[in-house]
Every structure is written in structure tokens, then in C-alpha cells.
Amino acid sequence: MPQPSHRAASTSSMGRGVLKGAFALLDELRRQGGEAGLTQIANACGLPKASAHRLLHQLLMVGAVERHRGRYRVGGQLYRIGQAWQPHPGLRLAARQPLHVLRAATGASVVVTVLYEDLALTIASVPGEVEPVAPVRDGMGFTLDTAAGQVLTAGPPRRVAGGPEAAVLEREQVMDGVCCAALPVGSPDGRLCAAITAMVPPHRPLRTVAEQTARAGAAITANLRRAARSSVSLPPVLRH
């Protein structure tokens, strides 16, 4: 069998190096809150400014980053691609209405998270009363010692039992002024696929919030089941 030439191997290695550098720059933009200057990005990634500038220019050309007042930020094209990521088919769309209903009933900031590496990663969110203290955004991660993390790491995959008795309650243990009720969300076959968490001020009755959060979690599961029975797949969250 013919062996790859040294030039082909070198080109492949260079390609991997360029991709690795580009993703390092994008990850640094994420860590910097979505926007940073060239020198800041280059220093954080350990790259010469010329190399960082060249990579950023290439990312600009494909819409992965944008320039804003001399600084770089994550571009719209990358956001659109990211919206296609589905930790469980249809989960983001299935959660949309139940989260808004829960927010209206409790005033809570509400998030749906999935276990991703060593974080409870937010895939759907609605801000509520505690937003000034604990802002929530899609894509942000919570540590596994939080209520959401405890739900997602409570042993091997299991069948999800509904009801507030399954809630993990957290009363300002992680952040002053914020109490949480987190519950499991079941997939159509009843197994754990996510956690739903309501974050409220301390004066809110947490047990009542847990009951309403359990109903929202059950509604998400019901939406997933309806989608699974349908012959038509759920549409993507964003269409362009």
C-alpha cells in the first residue's frame, strides 16, 4: 500500500495546528465574555500577535468572529452553527414554553442544563427576579456542586420519577440571595436527559417553587414524547 508522503503528512499536521489555534482563539473570546482585543487574545493563547491576527482574519472571512470598535467578538455564523447542537433531540424547543410558564408562575430565573464534561451546561434559559445577582444565559456552565449539578450526577443513568420529592433544594449555599430547586427531566423512554432549575430570592417558598418546577419538567418530557411519536421532526430553534 502506498505510504503518505512527508509533504502530505506535514500539510495535515499544519492543518490541525491551524484548527487548534483557531479554536483556542474562539475559546478565549468565550472566556473573556465574548469580546477582547488582539493583544489580550494573543497573550492569553500564547501566540505571537502576527499569528493571532492572521487566524482572526481567517475567522472574520467565514463569519466566525466579528470586529467591533477595534476589538474581536464571536460572530453570528458561529452562533447559528452552535444552535444546531442538540444534547437530546428537540430538548431546547420542548423546554421553551414550560420555562416561560414557570417563570410567569414563580418569578424564577429558570434554566435547563445537561451534563457536559465537568459542568451542568445551560441549553435553555429564562431570566427572572434574581437576574441582577445571578444572570442566566444559554451556554453558561454551572459547577457540579450546584443543585443542577447534583441532579445530573446522582449516580448512573436512571429512570426519572416525577414529583417535587425528587428535588434538590439549595438555600443560599452557593450564592447569597439565591435559592434553587432543581429536578430531573426525563427523556421519552423515562431516563434522565437534563435538569430543570428554578432560582428565586430567599423570601420565595422553595417547596412551592419545587412543585411548580416539577410540573414544568413533566411538561418538557411530555413535549419530547409527543415529538418522538410524530412522524415530523421538531424544527430547529432558529431558522434563517
CA nearest 66: which of 47, 46, 80? 80
129 and 24 co-located in one domain: no
Number of structural domains the chain divides into: 2
pTM tops 0.85? no
Q: Is residue 166 part of a domain?
A: yes
Q: Is residue 13 part of a domain?
A: no
204 falls in which pLDDT band (50, 70, 90)? very high
66 and 122 co-located in one domain: no
pLDDT by residue (tens digit) across 30-85?
A: 777 678 889 988 888 888 889 889 998 988 888 888 888 889 888 777 766 766 66
121 and 206 co-located in one domain: yes
Is pLDDT of 240 > 50?
no
Q: Cell numbers for 37, please give them.
A: 482585543
pLDDT by residue (tens digit) across 162-185?
A: 567 779 999 999 999 999 999 999
User: CATH number for the domain including 53?
Assistant: 1.10.10.10
User: CATH number for the domain including 189?
Assistant: 3.30.450.40
Domain termination residue (choose one: 26, 51, 81): 81
Q: Is residue 34 part of a domain?
A: yes
For the chain, the first-to-last Cα distance in angstroms comes to: 46
170 and 199 co-located in one domain: yes
56 and 113 co-located in one domain: no
55 and 91 co-located in one domain: no
Q: Is residue 5 part of a domain?
A: no
Residue 26's domain comprises 18-81
For cell 445571578, the residue is 134
Domain termination residue (choose one: 46, 81, 116): 81
Q: Residue 180: what residue type?
A: C
Domain termination residue (choose one: 34, 64, 81): 81
% the chain with pLDDT above 70 = 81
46 and 149 co-located in one domain: no
Q: Is residue 235 part of a domain?
A: no
CA distance readout (Å), 125 to 23, 113, 197: 25, 9, 10
